[in-house]
Structures are given as structure tokens and as C-alpha cells.
Structure 1
Amino acid sequence: MAGVTGLDEAVEFHIINSLGWSGLRPLQAAAVGPVRSGDDCVLVAPTAGGKTEAAVFPLLSRMTEQQWSGTTVLYLAPLRALLNNLHPRIESYGAWLGRTVGLWHGDVGPTERRRILAERPDILLTTPESIEAMLVSRRFDRERFFSSVQSVVIDELHSFASSDRGWHLLAVLERVERFAGRKLQRIGLSATVGNPEAVGTWMQGSTVGGRPARVVRDTVSDAGEPDVTLDYVGSMVNAATVISRLHRGEKRLVFLESRRRAEELTFLLRERGVETFVSHSSLSASERRRSEQAFAEGRNTVIVATSTLELGVDIGDLDRVIQIDAPRTVSAFLQRLGRTGRRPGASRNMLFLAIDLHGLLQAAAVLLLWKRGFVEDVVAPRNPRHLAAQQLLALALQEKAFGASRWREWWGDLAVLDEAEAILTHLRSAGFLVEDSGLLMIGPRAEREFGKQHFMELLSSFIADLELRVVAGTQEIGFVSPLALPRNDNRERKPLTLAGRAWFVRHVDWSRFTVWVEEVSAKGDVKWPSDAIAYSFDLCRAQRDVLLGALPAVTISQRAMEAAPQLRARYAAEVHRDALVLARRPVGGSRLWTWAGLKANATLLAGLGLDSSGAENESLILPEGVGPLDIRTADVHAVPRLDKESVTALKFSVALPEELAARTLGERLADPAGATDVVRMPLIRLDT
């Protein structure tokens, strides 16, 4: 029976008496009807906006009303840490009604997995990769386990939708629906995005048995204007000094854009006597949990993090969020800003500390876009042909063999499989699949390329860099790239920095991919491989606007105001108010300062018949003989050309024809709209 909130009376009772809430938040109240009715929904709210409860409370009500049994709800998230964090909370909600909640991912041991299989939980928290592993495992009863699934919750939907993990997720859900025998209700939880309706349609997957997706937004309008300050400190050492002295007695969360910088800042803060914790993807799970728990329980503390703490992991109430330099998108800024202002009477706030002039430019540009009301659209990567190959191979593992003409039954008209027929032809001719009496099964080439560790590499859509496990005594600290190891020469070895501490490398066991270390007090260093960052056209043009005099309407410190003329003087020869700058290079050729983003610049180079190696976010390098007229007539719809080494960054590219794999990656690098803008703008030529 429904209560006044529209939820089951028992759920409503516990919201009031167990949680002590006086009522539902606006988003939660608005979501009750759509979720209980079985509609596909996208629930949009800032971080800590109550999105999990907005989905789970109506699903528990529906579960009771319709007497669901077995595992009826799959709750998917992109990070194991987020699932670990959510598990006790959702488990407590399920217990109100005598319902069980299980957790299944790569860190969950065999004992717990056996218990889940024997006593199927009503709600299972997991990842798409874990579901893929279940589907292909011959020891897993797929029909029994997935036949009862009714609904799926996709947490951090925007994170999935912007990467190949989203395409993989959709393809896996289509296969689950085949075992369930029904179209599953899909509920996406998302931070603020520019195009939630389009993301909702994408989330629905194939159109077979489809229904409209409803967008439910957080309607809170009295949150107040956030307190955002832009400051310039000039170095990481100065940033550490400012943070150590500012807002003492408060809980501060500091975001950086790289693991290396996070480690450096953590070490510097600890040197200054600040209780500091660190969280990033290359720390061991136990190390991250210890940091996050200690931070959640403390007061006068700092936690330094990369984007791992952007995606909703609960670390308690925060007083301050600090950003070193700038996030890469407005959406990420909003996600991080939403970490604050959760307590009654508290306000949202963020302090930007730029450690160099380029960081000041990036921060000012992000804030300028935000004040203009801009938020990026979430767009799924184009043409996921490599995932079509992966799915066809996964189906062969799952079914042992499948009919060469019946594969479409598993995915309907899902866009992932749009070109599957041609890809299937290649998989057969290259020996990835072999045919016997009209049935296709795993071939010798697939065994050779993906067969290690029970086809483990075939189960996930992202490439994991080779990392070595770092162990001190019996304690696992985390993981580092081989690039971080000290060189074997006669010079003094520099310690590693990991988990905010310095470690002397005692021994490297390459057979076990393990580095044995002991802690020391000297400052060390650490590095991981990194790819070029592709900034958007809008962000790069906002940087140009800043260089031409625009500043965001936020609080700007005196130091930042004094640094702004230095910033503009540094880039004075690279911007012009009425045109783009084409500058002669001393070594030959020229550089075109487009301020259009890496993708638009790569597209323009392709349109000139050149490879994309000369493309950067702000500019592109042109060889001798290429002038303004050539730029005006460039083919803005050309596909950037990439070398063979670049194509290996596309997971499963080996299962595609070489030319098709290169085209797939090139099409993803293309920005015809940005390139069109470049060729239409006036040019001025400077000879230097």
C-alpha cells in the first residue's frame, strides 16, 4: 500500500523513523511516479543530490507491490570503490523490507560469490565487466540468475556514456535481457549534463519493445550562488603552503588532474604537518579505503584526489573543495562543486589554485564557460566497431557456438552492431571464429590473442597499462608504472612516492610483477604514462577569450589579477581579436593558432592531406608551402590519419581489419564543426 509519498508504507515509515527525514528531497519525490510505473528514467542532480535513494526507494516499493523474487535489480557503477561505498547503505534500505543486497566485482572473493549464487540477493551491485564474466563463465547458471531481473540502475550514467564502457554496458544488457525474456527498466543516475534527453535515449539501447525515456531533474532553486574563488600561487610548493594555512579546522578535498601531482601535493602537505590522505586509481583498495574512512571521520584534515572521488564516493560532509589548476570540463567542475554545501546552512564553494600561468588560463576558461551557462553535451564515442568484434567473440564463449545467421537475435538493432556483418566476415577469415555446420565458435586466433587467464582480456572494454604491485613487508601499497622505477646505474637512486610517502626500492621481482620497498623520509617521485589531453573546441575558444581580456564573474584574488597581464603578454603573439594568427616558424613551415581543440586541428590537417602528428589543442604545425588559401579550401570532413602504434590504443583493434581499425580511431578524432569554424575565420600572417 502506498503512503503519502507514493512509496510503499513500510519504506515511508523507515524514511521518517530510521533515517529521521521529514520528507523526500525534490528529485526523490519527482522520481517516485516514473520509477514505480516502470518507465525508463534519467535522474539528474548534482553530487550528493540523493539520486541513489531516488531510484532505490521506488524500486523497493515496486518489489514489494509486485512480489518480485530472485535477483530483480542490477545496480551498476563504473568504480569498485563506489560500489563498496554504496553497499552498506543500500543493504540497510533492503533490510527494512527483509530484502537482501549483494556485491560482486573483481575484489569480491570466491566464498562470497558462492553465497550469492546459492542465495540470490534481491539487488546486486556490480560492474558491466563482472556481468560479462558471468555471461561467459561455464560455471555460472545464466538462465537461473538473470531470468528474474526486472530493472537496472546505471549510476554515473554520464561517465559510462562518454566512453566505450558505455557501449559495452549496453551490449551486455541486451544479452541479459535475452535471458530475462523482457525489456528491462533502465534508470540512469547522472550529474548535470547538457543533453540529458539524448543520453536517456542512448541508454535505452535497442528500440525493440522500447518506450520513451523520462528525464527527472533536481528542482531545487534556492541553493544560492556558490562561492567560487580564482587564485594564482605560482608553484605546487606555494599551493601546499596556502592549503596548510587556509581554513584550519575544516575538512578540505583537493582535486588534481594527475596521480603524480596528487602524490607530490600529499607529500608536501604532510611535510607541513597537515593530516593528509590521498586517493587515486593506482593505490591498493585497502589503502584507498583507509584514507577515505579516516578522512570521513576526521575534521581538521585534507584528502587529495584525482577524479576517483568525483564520482559520488561518500566521504562525509566537506567544508571546502580546492582545485589545483582546473578540471578538463565544466561538467567535472560542477560535479566537484557539488561535494560541498550538503549540511544545512552550508554553501557550495570551490577555491582554484593555479600553480602556473597555463593553469590560470585553463581555470579562467572553465569558469568563464560556467558563468555563461555552458555545460558539455555527453556524446558516446563514434562507431564502436571494435566492440562489435568483442561482443561476437564473447557470444561464442557464452554459447560455445552460435548460428552464423542468428547473432542479431542477441542485440536487436543496437548501434554497436551496425557493421557487425562485415566484421563477422573478417573474424571468420582471420581465424578468430571458425565455422562448423553453420555454427561459429572460438577459433585459434582468438585463443592466441585473448585466451590467457580464461579470456580475461576479452571481458573489459578498456586497456589497463602494465603496473607493478608495490609491497612493504606484508602490506600492499598500490601500483606503479615501470617508468617510475629508479634507473640501474651508479647514481644515487631517488625514492618512489606512493600513498603520500617515500619508498626506497629494495628489489623488483619481474616474474611476479612486484616491487619490494621500505619507507624512507626523503622526498621521492613517481610517474605513470599519459596520453595527450584533447580539450574541447568550446574550452579552447574560452581560453582565447580570456587572453583577449575576458574574465569570469567570480571572486578573483589580487595575485590572480596581477598575474593576468603576465598571462596575456606570454600569449600576445598567438591571439588576435579579429582573426586567427598564422606565424612563421624559425625552423621552417608555420604554426596556425586556431584555439579550436586537438580534434578540430587534427581534422584540418587531414583535410590538407597531412597526418595528425602536428596537432595540439591550441595550434597546428603546417609544412613549408601550405598557406592561407590551402587552409580556406581544406576538406573539413576528412578523417585524421593515424600511425599503427596509435591504433593499438583501440581495445580489440587486432580483431578488426587494419584499415577499419585506423578509420575507427580517426573518425573519433574528427571534429568537422570545429574545423569548419577555423577555415571560415580570417587569418593574419606574422613573420617571426
Structure 2
Amino acid sequence: MWSQGWTSLRDAQEWAVPALVDADRDVIIAASTAAGKTEAAFLPILTNLLNHADPAGAVLYISPLKALINDQWDRLSRLCERLELPVVAWHGDVAASKKQRFLKSPHGILLITPESLEALFVNRGSSLPGLLQNLRYIVVDELHAFIGSERGKQLQSLMQRVEILTGKALPRIGLSATLGDMSLACIFLRPGQPDGVTIVESKSSGQELQVQVRGYIEQPMQQVAARPRPAIPADQQPAEDEPEENTSGSKVAIASHLYKVLRGHNNLIFPNRRQEVEWFADRLRALCEQDGVPNEFWPHHGSLSKELREDAERALKAGDPPASAVCTTTLELGIDIGNIRAVAQVGCPPSVASLRQRLGRSGRRPGEPATLRVYCRESPLTDQSSLSDQLREGLVQTVAMIRLLIAGWFEPPRAQGVHASTLVQQCLSSIAQLGGASAQQLWSNLVASGSFGSVSKFDLMSLLKSMGEKELIVQDSSGLLLPGELGERLINHYEFYTAFTSDEEFRLLRDGKPLGSLPVSRPLSKGQRIIFGGRRWQVQDVDLEAKVIVVSPARGGVAPQFEGLGAQVHDRVRLEMKNVLMETAPCPFLDKQAQALLHEARLTFQAMGLESSQLISSESSTQLLTWQGDYTNDALALLLNHVGIQTDNRGLSLEIAFNEEDTLRALRTVSRLNPEDIAPMLDNVENMTREKWDWALPRSLLMKSFASSHLNIKDAILLARKFSAGENLTL
């Protein structure tokens, strides 16, 4: 603190000292990005380790990202360099020799991912009690990134299993800038005892926010002029210049504006899909080449190689020359990338929470505002335009999200998911760790502890029976459960340690040098052109067995087709969208074109009478606007289909292939359904297998798990009851 010239602590750092220094309670530290959460946690934690140095204590720091571990290793190593406390990073990219330091002397700070901790349980089960016996704290960074996911269930289970090994409850410390509901965060951090969690929440942001939303009418496809050849060796140049691919005129216009206002400063640009990241990075690079200036725009996403991602991070951190990253959620979390001037969002943000996390990267210097630029593309209206286009759904949703952000609201995590898929993995992992386990041990260690609290004994016994039928486990004459033939093979495979599904991927090579990877679900053929790493390549060879794609520099090409974000819109966002459409005053942060588009949408809203009516009917179809989120709308669509009414969730509305009378009759039928009796409702759903180990679940538990994570059946039936009673449909 002296060497850094600190004259005071920030509020969260000051409040965290009495909460953490005695290692006697669970704590959540919630503060904005760059508010010093790491120091808030580790100044008192390190003080505890130094004040009670016999025996030497250890801290288990769990992070969602390897890159964040590398970043925190550097930060904590500087903090600990005079304290004689080792800081050890442990993940797949760390050399075994460095990991040996902790194995030989298990004290200090161990930085690890959930997957690497899982691997320790499976591969070092017998020696793990000795390695973890001196643990004093468990620190979970970016807590919000885990809540409500398979990976979060894995983390909860691993923390409980660590405590079982050490024979004591360890203080659990959660760090986050984005927690929409503190009570849910407490339940996640300490299932069964959330009231014992101390909350340290900093409210001192005081940061000025500058926002502009720019509107664009989708223009006809246009052919972008060929650009100068990049500086690559002559023998690697394509045989002839090829024109760029036809692309959206509005995309070209957005890229031009990004180039105009962002060049010369450090920025983050967030398109919503990886293929858009590649397109914008390539287009912005081309504009730099066209003007004869050094490139300032770097792609950054999870399918790029580690080296290419780190090149972008180093360019941002250096700050001179200026650098902007065109990125996905990979730069949403707390990796240190230096000062960011502005955050640009292309398209509607995936969520308010995500927008808040992204904006937290901007305006970190004292007195500097956080700057947000949003670019919305809308289609020109015709007689065939959908309701979504007529109400300018993307623009209105963006406005609603920004208004909620300014008001300080963001989505709470969806924490009620059963995630029984992860329970399959944890059963196999526990059996491997212990060299065999009884059903009672699995119940006690995994379920009764609270990690999988919504799973009943009947559910667990059905699950173990199903796992036996699928040869994942076998039972010996004493009743001990052991890995089955298939279970043994899967446990010994490196992909076992992850709780979530990841596609097999092709590695991209150029002259033997790795560029990154592409999902195998997107096959490529020889001669095909792609954009990757912000550059254009031609596929020369595809080795299916080795999963390798050999590429060379090329001119034309289209971006690889990655999956989009698929974010579910929250109920509160849709209600705010209705509020936006009901108002008449101009929105202060929209440009002239966006104002015109919003005015157009409001006129349509009024003309359709949607302030008081939520049904738009014709002789053969009906559109139902619930103004609820996707979990509720998906459930209501499923229930209407269940009672024989063909229905699709179109986002803003449910599209029903029947007239108003039939729709009202179906809603009355839905209103009488029992929300607890989900089996008949889900009986015809074919795509419930969403998570990694879902295939091993008995159907009853699969239904329960799917419904808990993907549907809000209770509110869907409540909506139907309100509508049947003639009440306003909106909850």
C-alpha cells in the first residue's frame, strides 16, 4: 500500500477488512469493475495468513477463465513478492514443473479453474486431503458468471467436496461486479445457510455515463470495393484480386462510423456473434489499409488461438499505439486490458447485466465518463413486414435495456435450475476420487449438502439405476458403486472435467502455425474461403481424422457460421419495452434516425390499440403480446401446443395458428393445468437433451431438469388464468 502511494482505502476495501480478516464467515464483495475487489479480498486474507503462519495457510482462488487466472497471478504475485507467499497458477496451459511447487509445499495462493480442480479430485483423490489440509479460504472470482449454469452446479459441488476433505467449513468469498439479486447470490455461495453470508456492497460509482444509440435502415446488399493487398510475401498472394463478398449496406455504414469515431483510442466493440466479430475486424482492418495507417483493430473470441487472443490483450494494455478489440464475451470479465475510452455495441445487447459488465470497462480514469455507442439495424417496412419489424423490436429492446441500466436494474441470475446433468458427472467424479462410493455417500456428499438440493432420494436412486443401465457404473456384492465399462473410459478422457458441452473443433494451421479452431459442426471444404482472426483465408486441405484445416491467405470469403448468443429476454425488459412504446416524449440518447424509427413504432403501437389490447387477430391466426420474458413465453407456447393449438414464440409475441375464439378457448384450458404435473406437458418435447450428461438421465429427471432451466410454467399458467378471468394479461 505504501509503495503504491495509497492515502486511503475505497469503501469496499475498508468494509471488507473486519468481514474477512478472521476467516470466520462467508462474504460477498460486490463493486463495480476496477473498484479494487481483488485488493478488498486479499489484503485482509493475506493479513490472516501472515498473522497465523504456523502452520502456513493456503487460499483456493477459483476463476471462470484461464486468462483471468494469468492476469490475477501477475497482480497477486506483485502483492505477495515481499511476503514469502507463493502464488501458483494451475490450468491446462501451465507447465507441470510450476504446479509441482504447490504439490511439494501446499501453501500460499492456488489459482485454478473448476475443471482443473475437478481433475485434481479424479486424479489425485488419495493425496488431496494432504494438499488441502491448510486451506483457510475459498475465493470465487466473477461469481455471477457461475450462477444458474451447469458449471455453477459443478462449482457448488466442488466447494462442498473440498470442505468434506478438510473436515471443516471454509469461508467462501464471492467477488462480482454484476449481481442482480443478492439473496440468490447468497443462496448460491452457501446453499442451505444463505443468511450467514455477509454482503460488502459498494455503491460509490459516481461515474458519468454518455450514451448514443444510432439507428440504421437496412440497405440493399452491396459489393464492397476490392482493397489493397495486405503486406504478405509474393509467393503467398492469391493469383488475382477478387471482389469482397456482397454484404449489408448498413453493416458497411456502421463499420465506417466505428472507424471514424473510435480510431486513435482504445475501445471495445461487441457484435453479438463471432462471425460478426470476424467481419467487423476484417472490415476495420481494411479501412486502415485503405488509408495507409497501421491497423488498430484486433479480433478476440474463444475460438482464436491463445497467442492471437493475447496479442489483442497486449495491444490494449499497452495503449500506445491505440488498439480496439472487436470481441465477444471473452473480454466481458475482469481481465486487465488497461483504460478503455468507449464501448460499442453492434445490435441489441444480450442482457442488461451483460451491458453493465461491458460498460464497466470504460471510463476508469478519474473524471472520465463511461461512453456507450449502440448501433441498431432495422428493416424497411413493407405490406409483408412482421409485427416485430413494425414495432422496431430490436431498437425498442435496446432503449429499454439502457433505461434499466441507468436505473440500476439488471437481471437476477436464473438460479433454480436442477442441472441434473452435472449430478451425473459429480457422481462419477466422487466414485473415482474415493475408489468407489455407496449410494448413501453420494446422497450425503452431493445432494443433502445443498448443491443439488432439489433432487429427491427417489430422483437419485432413479439416476443411479439409469447410470447402471448405461454402463456408467456397476455395483459390487457389498453395494459399492464403481465405474462401469463406459464410465471408466469417460472418466479417463480429458473432456470429463468440464460440466458443459463443447463441440469437437478443427484446428486451423497456416504453414504449420496454429491460428485457432472452428467447431466441427460447421464443416468446411477444400477451396472454400473464410474469415478468421480478422483476415481472409482459403482452405487448402481438411484432415478429418486429425481434425486439422490447412489454410493460406486469400481475398474473398465469408465469416464462419458460429452460434449466436441466444440470450433469453427477462420479464422486466419486456415490460419496460411496453413503457417505451406507450410514451410520447423523445428519447434523449437516440440520434435523428433512431428517433424517427422509435416514433414510427409508437404510432404503430397506438394504431393497433396495444396499450389496452394484447391480441391481434385475423380469420386464421392470432398474435398474443404477453409483455413477458422468453422463459414464460416459451412455456406458454409449449402449453398451448400441448392442448392442440399450434403456437410459436416470436420474441415479442406468440404467433398462434388459430383465430381469437379458439385461442381464448385454449387459454382457458391451459389455465386449468397443474403446474406441478409436468410429465404430460413435456411428453411430446423431443429436444430436452441440452446439457452434457442429459443423455444419462431417466426421463422423469430429464423433464424436471429441463423445465427448471428453460421454462417458467407456473407464470405461464398464471397468465392464462388472468386472461381467462378477463384481467390484464401482464403480470
- Aligned partners of 1:532 and 1:254: how far apart in 2? 19
Paired residues of 2:299 and 2:534 also in contact (CA < 8 A) = yes
Equivalent position to 1:395, from 430, 440, 447: 430
Equivalent position to 2:399, from 364, 376, 381: 364
Aligned partner of residue 662 in structure 1, secondary structure? helix
1:581 equivalenced with 2:615 (yes/no)? yes
Matching residue's letter, 1:440: L
Equivalent position to 2:625, from 581, 590, 593: 593
Equivalent position to 1:605, from 608, 621, 637: 637
Matching residue's letter, 1:21: W
Residue of structure 1 in register with 2:340 after alignment: 318
Paired residues of 2:212 and 2:373 also in contact (CA < 8 A) = yes
Offset at 1:450?
7.0
1:424 equivalenced with 2:456 (yes/no)? no
Aligned partner of residue 627 in structure 1, secondary structure? helix
Equivalent position to 1:629, from 665, 680, 685: 665
Matching residue's letter, 1:666: A
Aligned partner of residue 414 in structure 1, secondary structure? coil
1:203 equivalenced with 2:200 (yes/no)? no
Offset at 1:593?
2.9
Change (3 A) 1:678 1:318: farther
1:33 equivalenced with 2:18 (yes/no)? yes
Equivalent position to 2:331, from 309, 318, 330: 309
Matching residue's letter, 1:435: Q
- Aligned partners of 1:297 and 1:231: how far apart in 2? 30
Residue of structure 1 in register with 2:115 after alignment: 129
Residue of structure 2 in register with 1:10 after alignment: none
Paired residues of 1:481 and 1:527 also in contact (CA < 8 A) = no
Matching residue's letter, 1:252: N
- Aligned partners of 2:586 and 2:415: how far apart in 1? 30
Matching residue's letter, 1:651: K
Change (3 A) 1:211 1:247: closer
Residue of structure 2 in register with 1:463 after alignment: 501
Change (3 A) 1:285 1:69: farther
Offset at 1:266?
0.7
Paired residues of 2:462 and 2:698 also in contact (CA < 8 A) = no
- Aligned partners of 2:494 and 2:588: how far apart in 1? 49
Paired residues of 1:603 and 1:637 also in contact (CA < 8 A) = no
Paired residues of 1:229 and 1:555 also in contact (CA < 8 A) = yes
* CA shift digits 1:218-256 (9 cap, x unpaired): 1315x2431122222442211111111114422111122
Matching residue's letter, 1:145: L
Equivalent position to 2:203, from 190, 196, 219: 219
Q: RMSD of the TM alignment (CA)?
A: 2.8
- Aligned partners of 1:81 and 1:551: how far apart in 2? 45
Range 555-564 or range 99-108, more displaced? 555-564
Paired residues of 2:126 and 2:434 also in contact (CA < 8 A) = no
Aligned partner of residue 496 in structure 1, secondary structure? strand
Offset at 1:543?
2.6
Residue of structure 2 in register with 1:242 after alignment: 257
- Aligned partners of 1:333 and 1:63: how far apart in 2? 37
Equivalent position to 1:563, from 594, 597, 600: 597
* CA shift digits 1:121-153 (9 cap, x unpaired): 510111111111100114872121111111011
Paired residues of 2:616 and 2:622 also in contact (CA < 8 A) = yes
Aligned partner of residue 461 in structure 1, secondary structure? coil
Offset at 1:303?
0.9
Matching residue's letter, 1:481: P
Change (3 A) 1:185 1:354: same
1:260 equivalenced with 2:292 (yes/no)? no
- Aligned partners of 1:330 and 1:595: how far apart in 2? 17
Paired residues of 2:273 and 2:565 also in contact (CA < 8 A) = no
Once the two structures are superposed, the pairs formed by residues 400-549 of structure 1 within 5 Å of their partners are 400-411=435-446, 412-416=448-452, 418-428=455-465, 429-430=468-469, 431-444=471-484, 447-448=485-486, 451-452=489-490, 454-487=492-525, 493-530=527-564, 532-549=566-583
Which 5+ residue runs of structure 1 have no aligned equivalent? 1-14
- Aligned partners of 1:214 and 1:668: how far apart in 2? 28
1:343 equivalenced with 2:365 (yes/no)? yes
Change (3 A) 1:245 1:69: farther
Offset at 1:595?
3.3
Which 5+ residue runs of structure 2 have no aligned equivalent? 218-249, 289-294, 379-391
Paired residues of 1:400 and 1:441 also in contact (CA < 8 A) = no
Aligned partner of residue 451 in structure 1, secondary structure? helix
Matching residue's letter, 2:305: S
* CA shift digits 1:430-462 (9 cap, x unpaired): 243222243423343xx4267247143432211
- Aligned partners of 1:152 and 1:83: how far apart in 2? 15
Offset at 1:582?
3.5
Residue of structure 2 in register with 1:285 after alignment: 306
Offset at 1:171?
0.5
Range 459-468 or range 431-440, more displaced? 431-440
Change (3 A) 1:503 1:604: same
Matching residue's letter, 2:254: A
Matching residue's letter, 1:101: V
Range 106-115 or range 183-192, more displaced? 106-115
Paired residues of 2:88 and 2:102 also in contact (CA < 8 A) = yes
Aligned partner of residue 262 in structure 1, secondary structure? helix
TM norm structure 1? 0.89
- Aligned partners of 2:279 and 2:150: how far apart in 1? 31
Change (3 A) 1:456 1:486: closer
Offset at 1:103?
0.6
Aligned partner of residue 556 in structure 1, secondary structure? coil
- Aligned partners of 1:187 and 1:139: how far apart in 2? 24
Matching residue's letter, 1:329: S
Paired residues of 1:628 and 1:683 also in contact (CA < 8 A) = no
Range 83-92 or range 605-614, more displaced? 605-614
Residue of structure 2 in register with 1:6 after alignment: none
- Aligned partners of 2:274 and 2:300: how far apart in 1? 9
Paired residues of 1:462 and 1:651 also in contact (CA < 8 A) = yes
- Aligned partners of 2:721 and 2:407: how far apart in 1? 25
Change (3 A) 1:339 1:530: closer
- Aligned partners of 2:302 and 2:163: how far apart in 1? 32
1:146 equivalenced with 2:188 (yes/no)? no
- Aligned partners of 2:347 and 2:271: how far apart in 1? 7
Offset at 1:568?
4.6
Range 500-509 or range 323-332, more displaced? 323-332
TM norm structure 2? 0.84
Matching residue's letter, 2:578: R
Matching residue's letter, 2:296: E
Residue of structure 2 in register with 1:8 after alignment: none
Paired residues of 2:508 and 2:515 also in contact (CA < 8 A) = yes
Change (3 A) 1:175 1:37: same
- Aligned partners of 1:90 and 1:550: how far apart in 2? 52
Residue of structure 2 in register with 1:9 after alignment: none
Paired residues of 2:614 and 2:625 also in contact (CA < 8 A) = yes
Residue of structure 1 in register with 2:653 after alignment: 619
Paired residues of 2:149 and 2:419 also in contact (CA < 8 A) = no
- Aligned partners of 2:107 and 2:513: how far apart in 1? 32
Change (3 A) 1:551 1:670: farther
Offset at 1:258?
1.3
Residue of structure 2 in register with 1:84 after alignment: 70
Change (3 A) 1:25 1:405: same
Matching residue's letter, 1:479: S
Matching residue's letter, 1:328: P
Offset at 1:350?
1.1
